[in-house]
């Protein structure tokens, strides 16, 4: 018989600090491609391996400092939570690997498109998996997003697989975290569990890299080595900031903040890295931006109505 772990400790609410944490997380995710570009000549497969392993080491250190090993043990003793943690780990592994491929092969714009699509993919999952009913603006946003993908496929000449895999994997990751791990797994324990599941895969991947292209850690100067050693912190810090934000601010606020990352990634890809933007790609992005604007408007309007309803109920006799 397994015991259900106690809920993660509550944190004091505070919208200002929550917004700061959330913006910090999305800011770091937005400029992440620049960090991966600096890691050249290290390839995407080696970077991911170090990212997983160094994240696990950092999480273990955080659990030791915060005396959180008891919470992790309680989670592991629940087979259901442990297995869902493995599923979440596999989804975030796919997301990280595809993002790294994009960042190291001059396809950051495709990655940014994926994260513009991600909120729309989340809404679609809410319908298909959770059986939720969509509001009119949400349906309109999904329709425009579908048209955008069609435009890119037809006129750009290829399926934007990087964008679609990134949006689908992160939307599914969010679903697993919200529906099946929930409040009983705190941020550090969750990331520790996910990276622990991935550690054997990362180790095998590192062995294959060593046998083929060769390991680059420690081979290209102290600066390169230091940057590669930061892979764990670069991975864990934004995730922990996001978890702190999610517990302090409304879903509406989180929904609006999440557009910061793809906007920054778009700016990095188009203006800093100088990636090519033909007219058909501009058309696809423009349609996605319209869809995101519709979704943002729906979030704001629905949030206002919900607050008004709560206020009315509060003052009812």
User: Which residues lie below 8 Å from residue 45, measured CB to CB, with a gap of 6+?
Assistant: 97, 100, 205, 208, 209
How many Cα atoms sit within 13 Å of 1 on the Cβ side? 1
Longest dimension (CA), the chain: 74
The rounded percent of the chain whose pLDDT value lies above 70 is 90
> Residue 267 is encoded by which pair of tokens?
């700016």
Residue 9, phi then psi, degrees to nearest 5 = -55, 140
Q: Give me the pLDDT at residue 1, please.
A: 45
- C-alpha 50, offset from chain centre: 18
Q: What is the mean pLDDT of residues 104-130?
A: 88
Residue among 88, 183, 149 nearest 285 (CA): 149
Say if residue 52's pLDDT is above 70. yes
- Please say if the pLDDT value at position 97 is more than 60: yes
pTM: 0.86
Strand segments (E) across the chain: none
């Amino acid at each position: 018989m397994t015991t259900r772990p106690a809920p993660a400790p509550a944190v004091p609410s505070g919208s200002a600090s929550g917004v700061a944490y959330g913006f910090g997380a999305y800011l770091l995710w937005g400029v992440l491609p620049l960090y991966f570009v600096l890691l050249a000549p290290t390839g995407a497969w080696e970077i991911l391996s170090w990212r997983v392993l160094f994240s696990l080491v950092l999480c273990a250190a955080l659990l030791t400092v915060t005396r959180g090993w008891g919470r992790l043990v309680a989670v592991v003793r629940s087979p259901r939570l442990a297995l869902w943690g493995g599923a979440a780990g596999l989804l975030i592994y796919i997301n990280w690997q595809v993002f790294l491929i994009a960042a190291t092969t001059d396809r950051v714009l495709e990655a940014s498109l994926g994260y513009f699509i991600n909120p729309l993919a989340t809404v679609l999952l809410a319908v298909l998996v959770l059986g939720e009913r969509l509001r009119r603006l949400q349906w309109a946003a999904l329709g425009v997003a579908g048209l955008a993908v069609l435009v890119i496929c037809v006129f750009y000449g290829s399926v934007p697989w990087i964008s679609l895999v990134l949006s689908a994997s992160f939307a599914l990751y969010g679903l697993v975290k919200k529906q099946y791990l929930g409040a009983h797994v705190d941020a550090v324990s969750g990331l520790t569990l996910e990276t622990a599941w991935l550690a054997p895969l990362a180790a095998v991947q590192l062995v294959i890299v060593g046998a083929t292209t060769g390991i680059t850690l420690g081979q290209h100067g102290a600066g390169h080595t230091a940057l590669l050693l930061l892979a764990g912190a670069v991975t864990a810090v934004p995730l922990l900031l996001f978890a702190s934000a999610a517990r302090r601010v409304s879903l509406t606020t989180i929904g609006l903040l999440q557009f910061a990352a793809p906007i920054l990634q778009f700016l990095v890809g188009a203006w800093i890295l100088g990636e090519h933007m033909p007219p058909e790609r501009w058309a696809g992005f423009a349609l996605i931006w319209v869809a995101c604007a519709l979704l943002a408007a729906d979030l704001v309007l629905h949030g206002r109505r919900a607050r008004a309803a709560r206020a009315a109920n509060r003052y009812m006799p």
